[in-house]
Amino acid sequence: MKPRSGPVAVTVIILVAIGLSLLAIQLRASRAPPGIVLVSIDTLRADRVGAYGSSAGLTPNLDRLAATGVVFESAWTTAPLTVPAHASMLTGLLPPLHGLRTNARGHRLPAATARPYATVAEIFRRENYRTAAFVSASVLRGARTGLDAGFDVYDDVARAAPGALHDTERDGVETVTAALDWVNSDERPFFLWVHLFDPHTPYDAPPPWGAGSAHTNDVEGYDAEVRYADHALGLLRDGLNEAGLGDALIVVVSDHGEALGAHGEATHGYLLHEETLHVPFVISAPGLVAEGQRRREPVSVGDVAPTLVTLAGIALPPMMAGRPLFAGGSHREERVPYAESLYGYETSRWAQVFALRLGDQKIVDAGPRTLVFDLASGSPDTPLPPDAEVKRIVEEELRRIAGLPPLAPPAESDAEIAGGSYWSATARGDGILPRAENAALPSPYDRMDVARRMDAGRSQLSSGNAREAERTFREVIVSDPDNPQAHRWLARSLQALGDFSEAASVFRTAFTKGWRHTDCITKALYVGVRAASAGGSDEAELALSFLKTARGQDIRQDGPGFVFEALLLHRVGQTAEARRALDNARSEPETARLTKLIEGAEGVLR
């Protein structure tokens, strides 16, 4: 009899294919850990960790975890700022490619349908993992960053109040407790991100770990917070063990370090020295990664996502620029970690800063200064004279990476006007300046005295010493006249003193110096209303003229800004225009503050 062929043979092939696919899934499931946990400890310096040589005993839990896995001795962040560094961890991309280059309000990751890459949470969710994030600070709110993409649960904290000097923060133990409750709610495999913010300023760990209110900005207070964050990590590991998840894959990494006064930098964000670039990076994966390894090759926080994906047995997406640290001998390939800081430019109009690490050599393009450091020497913080090859690397390779366009344009975030631990960005400064233009700006490496005085002035203002703050910011402006933040905070000091006319003028100056932001418009209009109400005959006209200029530069208004515009128009007798401005305010997203402002303006316009 003639053998059967056609449909029956096709059916056999399909059944074999299905069987092989199921076998592959089963094999991957047998290799993959039941839980994959990413712990990011904000602002943790590597040199505070015992596994990195510290003898202070601050991190016993992290040290025990390190002993069960791999310590990457030479890990760098991609930026000494919370948002861009975490974006690199979760996407495997450098800041130029994911587009979140500072903590600035106004930008977030685009929606999944608007970008060609996936976040690590999206990848795990597609593979039927349940996913959750528990973050401890408002700077990482999902609504403002887009980092909630791919998470079934994104448990964040409330936004900071307008004008607050620090981000809203959740105690690390509270964050861990919430995370463990979620872990125990279901037995399916999971991907969990736990963010601990405790070592970030202000340093105020609770008793018995805390150093007390006298140490909220010093080394003793910082070390107490490191000890407390390690305590929270220990509780997390204990909870996983109690849940039968002692074989979970755990990565502990920091987004950046803390300068603690080194090189004149009080905290972080401006400079690319090792105190803020060098971060702890530890991986423990029982059954997947051999215990007790120490690897010295340079790696990046951008390697976190691809490493997690490959250790789970998932094919690596092609768009990830980071590399898996345990795949195909890739750890032997030469890595060239990249880092940047646009913070000084966006806040103070200082030069943009970029760095590459070539083995033990660090090359920094700091505007008018080119710096070279030998990280293996006895003086790793002492710059060496740049030679011709260094200059070539800066002009060609470093600038090429810095100027890469984002894989997808960042999306608009919610237009919150809130405080935070960082100076607010003056404008959305995604663009990289031409090298000659950047070199014409002051280098942040020469401006840390100004940064310290500005921090002092802001603290004086928050403590109710507006007159001292005014003097401080006037002194800063003498030495750094083009700094928009100095003008901004001088205006706020004058506003607190009741000098609304000069405050309005200085807010307008801050705009011309570079603080081109909705918040600047709203504040300038508000104090313009106050100045006009106090009898300033020309204040309303000046404020409205400023508003016309701002609109000409494509800076939109928010709801309160429309209300203040209506009041100014009413004052100069433009009643119909005033009512239209108030209608514009009503069309903005409703908030309790906006509703109250509209009701007050309606009473004036009647």
Distances (CA, A) of 192 to 25, 71, 88: 21, 21, 17
4 pLDDT more than 50: no
Report the alpha-carbon distance of residue 265 to residue 213 in Å, rounded: 22
Report the alpha-carbon distance of residue 102 to residue 413 in Å, rounded: 14
Report the alpha-carbon distance of residue 528 to residue 596 in Å, rounded: 19
| 204-218 average pLDDT score | 93
2 pLDDT more than 50: no
The proportion of the chain whose per-residue pLDDT surpasses 70, expressed as a percent, equals 90
Q: Tell me the pTM.
A: 0.91
pLDDT value at residue 8: 41
- Distance, C-alpha 260 to centroid of its chain: 19
Measure the CA angle with vertex 367, ends 335 and 341; round to 5°: 55
Higher pLDDT, 413 or 402: 402
Phi, psi at residue 427, to the nearest 5°? -165, 165
pLDDT value at residue 19: 42
pLDDT value at residue 437: 96
Higher pLDDT, 422 or 206: 206
Query: Following DSSP, what letter does each residue of 515-582 receive, concatenated?
Result: --SHHHHHHHHHHHHHHHHTT-TTHHHHHHHHHHHHHHTTPPP-HHHHHHHHHHHHHTT-HHHHHHHH
Contact 480, 444 (CB under 8 A): no
Same CATH fold assignment for domains 32-286+299-329 and 444-605: no
Peptide bond into 202 cis (omega under 30): yes
> Which CATH architecture is the domain 444-605 placed in?
Alpha Horseshoe (1.25)
**pLDDT single digits (tens) 528-561:** 999 999 887 799 999 999 999 999 988 889 999 9
Contact 118, 388 (CB under 8 A): no
pLDDT value at residue 318: 82
Q: For 32-286+299-329, give the CATH class.
A: alpha beta
**pLDDT single digits (tens) 158-202:** 887 666 777 889 999 999 999 999 999 999 999 999 999 999 999
CA atoms within 13 A on the CB side of 426: 26
Report the alpha-carbon distance of residue 504 to residue 481 in Å, rounded: 18
Q: Which residues contact 498 (CB under 8 A, 6 or more apart)?
A: none
Ranking 313-322, 445-454, 475-484 by mean pLDDT, the lowest is 313-322
Report the alpha-carbon distance of residue 240 to residue 183 in Å, rounded: 8
**pLDDT single digits (tens) 261-307:** 999 999 999 999 999 999 999 999 999 999 999 999 999 999 999 99
The ranges assigned to domains in the chain are 32-286+299-329, 342-407+428-443, 444-605
**pLDDT single digits (tens) 97-130:** 999 999 876 689 999 999 999 999 999 999 999 9
Structure tokens given for 574: 């433009």
Token pair 């005295």 in the structure block, residue:
449
pLDDT value at residue 198: 97
**pLDDT single digits (tens) 442-452:** 999 999 999 99
